[in-house]
Amino acid sequence: MKGYWNKPKKTKEVLGDGWIYTGDIGYMDEDGCVYFVELKKGVIKVSGYQVRPFEVEGVLMEHQAVYEVAVIGFPDPCRGEHPKASLSFGRDTRGRWQRRSLSISAGRG
- pLDDT > 90? residue 89: no
| Dihedral sign computed on CA atoms, order 47, 53, 59, 61 | positive
The answer to whether 32 touches 65, Cβ cutoff 8 Å, is: no
Q: Residue 67: which domain range?
A: 42-109
- One domain, residues 88 and 49: yes
- One domain, residues 64 and 15: no
Q: What is the predicted pLDDT for the residue at 93?
A: 56
Picking from 29, 28, 61, 55, the residue whose alpha carbon sits closest to that of residue 42 is 55
pTM, 2 dp? 0.56
Q: What is the predicted pLDDT for the residue at 107?
A: 42
Q: What is the predicted pLDDT for the residue at 91?
A: 66
The percentage of residues in the chain with a pLDDT greater than 90, rounded to a whole number, is 23
- One domain, residues 68 and 106: yes
Residues 30-53 have pLDDT tens digits of 999 988 877 777 789 999 999 988
